[in-house]
Amino acid sequence: MIRNPRKSGRRSPLASASLLLVGLLATGGAYVAFTATTASANVDMSSPETIENGQKLFAANCATCHGQQAQGTDAGPSLIGVGAASVDFQVGSGRMPMQANSPQAPTKPVQFTEEQTAELAAYVASLAPGPAIPSESELVGGNVAEGGELFRINCAMCHNVAGAGGALTEGKYAPALTESSAKHIYEAMVTGPQNMPAFNDLNLTPEDKKNVIAYIQYHQETQSAGGLELGSLGPVSEGLFLWVFGLGGIVALTVWITAKSN
């Protein structure tokens, strides 16, 4: 009878090294995420140093189109008076800096850190009064039912009732809201980017804006009760689905029955 050799209980040196490497990577990643979030949260928008840093970033990355004093050029509009919210939305969503001239700026990977975005926003806000970046209290606590009614009245004709987006004229479009953050939704409402109208507090009160955000977030977090959504594009996609698969199935069944009878 052959006995199995007794295990010594020792771990391989490679196992220990691997565990150490995993621990270092996890700790480092957590530290970077924490420090980035903390740095962004602690940016003093009124600090002269923050504004100066934002001016340097603006001169290096934005002045070619918007002018050295943000006064605007033939390639880009004036940013005087657009406020910090507009900069935070455009830069924070990756729309700016724009990669190429097109009917409107599409989203893309964000080019700046949160701290740099805040510095750019602080600089533009220092040029003239404008909408500010919303606080956390302005984004939470909305009523989904009331927000749905407001959204259908004011937004659904472009963004679709489910926020799936839609086509506009001349190659423009209303973007999908399926991944938009609450902050960017609020900033879009108060600044009116691209072809969107601006909704000031007389059009939609701060409470109304919270309700709209709550409705959009509800759609983002809730799966469709009706099953396959087909892009949430409404009767066009649903009719096309029925025409292709429904009518196609009937034709295939008819051919099969005819072939059997023959």
Given 114, 133, 152, which residue is the final one in a domain?
Answer: 133
pLDDT tens digits, one per residue of 68-104: 999 999 989 999 999 999 999 999 999 999 887 888 8
β-pairing, 173-174 vs 166-167, is antiparallel
pLDDT tens digits, one per residue of 105-142: 888 999 999 999 999 999 999 999 999 999 999 999 99
- Number of structural domains the chain divides into: 2
- The answer to whether residue 257 is domain-embedded is yes
- Res 51: pLDDT: 94
Q: Is 173 within 8 Å of 200 (Cβ atoms)?
A: no
- The answer to whether residue 245 is domain-embedded is yes
> Is the preceding omega at residue 175 within 30 degrees of 0, hence cis?
no
Specify the 3-state DSSP secondary structure of 249: helix
Q: Alpha helix (H) ranges present in 93-224?
A: 114-127, 144-154, 156-159, 182-191, 206-221
- Res 80: pLDDT: 95
Distance CA 48, CA 226 (A): 54
Cα 255 to chain center, whole Å?
49
Distance CA 105, CA 103 (A): 7
pLDDT tens digits, one per residue of 8-31: 555 555 666 666 666 666 655 544
- The answer to whether residue 119 is domain-embedded is yes
The closest of 87, 89, 93, 117 to 106, measured between CA atoms, is: 93
Distance CA 145, CA 77 (A): 38
Answering whether pTM is above 0.75, one says no
Cα 182 to chain center, whole Å?
9
Q: Is 47 within 8 Å of 123 (Cβ atoms)?
A: no
Given 95, 111, 133, which residue is the final one in a domain?
Answer: 133
Given 94, 110, 133, which residue is the final one in a domain?
Answer: 133
The residues with which 173 forms a beta bridge, in sequence order, are 167
- Res 171: pLDDT: 84
Domain that holds residue 59: 23-133
CATH code of the domain in which 107 resides: 1.10.760.10
pLDDT tens digits, one per residue of 195-250: 899 999 999 999 999 999 999 999 888 876 666 666 666 666 667 777 777 888 88
